[in-house]
Amino acid sequence: MNVKNFIRSLRETGTAEIGGDDRKRIMLVNTLSLATGTFAFVLGTFLAILLKEKWILYPSLAEGMLFYLVIFINSKRRYVLAAATMLAIQNLSAIYFGVIFGAVSAIQLLVLCLVSASLILFRQKSMRVVCITMAVICLVFLELNNQFNFLAPLASVLRYQILIRWMAIPVILFINILVILFYVRLNDEHTKVLEAANFYKTLFVQETSHEIRSPLNAVFGISQLLLLNLEKDNDKKTIDKDTIRPLVEHLYMASYNIRSIINNILEFSKFQAGKIDCLKNDRFLLREWLKDAVNLHTYNAKIKGVAIKLQIAEDLPQDIIADLVKLTQILNNLLSNAIKFTNENSKVYVNVCREDSNIVVKVIDEGLGIKPEMQTSIFDAFVSENVKYFESSGLGLSIGKRLAEICGGNLTLLSSSDKGSVFALAFPLKTGTEGVLIDFSKSLHLRSGHFKDLKILIMEDNLMSQVIITKYLKELECHVVVANDGMEGLEKAQEDKPDIIFLDTHMPVMSGMDTLKAIRESNTLKDIPVIAISGDAFKESIEEAINAGANEYITKPVEFKQLHFVLDKYFKHS
């Protein structure tokens, strides 16, 4: 081992498996200890021989050994003790050598440096206060001693005042530079991180704004076209379904795309805040889930002339247990990306098979592939490429990988060439009979009498949400009562005794949470199923509603399929 590597190993003592600012602080303590200890040995011995003073030799050797002891303490991972010990030795040495060398040593400059070091080395306020107080006491003592001379310097020092001063000043200056350089580098790194964060925040807002505006433009435009068509058909007293149906399909997909974008944004914000939703064990039909996901993206694919081919291995079970919401979000992101980046009039393949104890879903496109330089960072946030038909905020793959890992699996890029890319979602294969089976094959078309005369109370202050949910439930021949706030909802619940309540969590007069608690405390209402409906999709809000007594939680925008599932769960009519 050469000298350079040996010094590096001493500076890095105790930093194994530690990164970031903590690693830098440990290295600063080691560097200051190593430098000051070496100066004590070399310069102390030189001056002791020159002045023939044992009062310089032995304290210098002791000082050097104590500074090296600090590095040993860091090796034992007692980082706070090591930093405090180093500063204490610096202060004691400053007092001792400040006294025997006198004012000529200018050692007060070192004490001022120790104040800065105290602020840099410690996060705890108490340790900063202790070490700064220690440095201030040291400085005051030296200044008073220089002023009143109650402890006189060594007589031999007077003959070599200039030499001692010019030896002390470079050493003190060197230690000051070490501390200042550490602060400057740390500040520069933090500045770069903040600048990068600000850049990505701006990029995130710009890309997301643009991505939302495209489907929002479709919603706005199609709504106007529907109104024009309805006005045109008003005189005919009939509606041209062949004209209206494609517009409605466009409208639904545009709305779905907006919801997907918002879900990705919310998921990304959760990850950034370190919040992870609990893993759920949903039991659902595997093949129907896959077909449902593919059918949902078929419309977008048709716009580009893309056909989606689904192939499912025969040895896979009929139903599985996994987190349905997270897997659906991953698969939707993969399919969206595949459709975005595949060539026009091509195919996207979804191949599903069993590999060991995992289910593997491979999504294969026939696009231009991913550039080699991007393949290592493709799962990082904001990594995206613009294409003719679609643009992406670059969150889908990053979120997908994180969600896959939460589910106990992984999302990988298996291969990418100029003929397309292959992404593989792997997650544990788990089966069982516990829980309610979610059946995607069940028709959600309106069936007369399916929930006939079911009494439903809707507590919702938003008129548009009232109209939409009420319209759907009345088509199911339910008896629907609407309340505009929690107080009115409680009164109508007592009057009508509904079979089920749909409750918005954010309402005037009486909040959704207070209303929910009042329902659960009422002897006549406490057994009624309550379904919380809210635009708040954060984990804390969902847990608050469930803990307050909600049976289910549905996030807006509400899909009728979700309402149907809930009604099926609590009222199994034939």
Residues 38 and 175 grouped into a single domain: yes
Q: How far apart are CA 322 and CA 279, in angstroms?
A: 8
Residues 433 and 482 grouped into a single domain: no
Residues 411 and 463 grouped into a single domain: no
Residue 372: CATH number of its domain: 3.30.565.10
479 φ/ψ sector (left φ>0, alpha ψ -120 to 50, else beta):
beta
Q: How far is CA 561 from the centre of its chain?
A: 30
pLDDT at residue 200 in the model: 66
pLDDT in tens, 378-414: 777 655 554 333 344 456 788 888 889 989 999 998 8
H or E stretch covering 469 = helix 463-475
Give DSSP secondary structure letters for 500-555. Answer: EEEEESS-SSS-HHHHHHHHHH-TTTTTS-EEEEES---HHHHHHHHHHT-SEEEE
Residues 186 and 244 grouped into a single domain: no
Q: How far apart are CA 62 and CA 55, in angstroms?
A: 11
Q: Which of 377, 412, 437 is the last residue of a domain?
A: 437
Q: How far is CA 48 from the centre of its chain?
A: 59
Maximal CA-CA distance, the chain: 118
Residue 560: CATH number of its domain: 3.40.50.2300
Q: At 366, is the secondary structure helix, strand, or coil?
A: coil
Q: At CB < 8 A and 24+ separation, what contacts does 194-203 make?
A: 200/381, 200/382, 203/382
Residues 156 and 113 grouped into a single domain: yes
pLDDT in tens, 434-482: 777 776 655 445 554 578 889 999 999 888 888 888 988 988 889 999 9
Encoded tokens for 269: 């914000």
pLDDT at residue 362 in the model: 95
pLDDT at residue 390 in the model: 38
Question: Is 102 within the bounds of a domain?
Answer: yes
Residues 388 and 474 grouped into a single domain: no
- For residue 329, the enclosing domain spans 282-437
Residues 297 and 265 grouped into a single domain: no
Residues 252 and 289 grouped into a single domain: no
Residues 328 and 383 grouped into a single domain: yes
pLDDT at residue 388 in the model: 37
Q: Which of 173, 197, 221 is the last residue of a domain?
A: 197
pLDDT at residue 408 in the model: 92
Residues 69 and 185 grouped into a single domain: yes
Q: At 455, is the secondary structure helix, strand, or coil?
A: strand
Residues 471 and 540 grouped into a single domain: yes
Q: Which of 139, 172, 197 is the last residue of a domain?
A: 197
What stretches of 304-428 show up as alpha helix (H) in DSSP? 324-341, 372-375, 396-406
Residues of the chain with pLDDT under 70: 1, 200, 203-215, 217-218, 232-239, 253, 257, 267-268, 270-277, 381-395, 439-449, 572-574
Overall domain count for the chain: 4
End-to-end CA distance of the chain: 82
Question: Is 277 within the bounds of a domain?
Answer: no
Question: Is 208 within the bounds of a domain?
Answer: no
Question: Is 203 within the bounds of a domain?
Answer: no
Residues 252 and 365 grouped into a single domain: no
Question: Is 172 within the bounds of a domain?
Answer: yes
Question: Is 395 within the bounds of a domain?
Answer: yes
Question: Is 205 within the bounds of a domain?
Answer: no
pLDDT at residue 88 in the model: 93
Question: Is 300 within the bounds of a domain?
Answer: yes
Strands 500-504 and 437-438, how do they pair? unpaired
Of residues 376, 386, 404, 383, the one with CA closest to residue 267 = 404
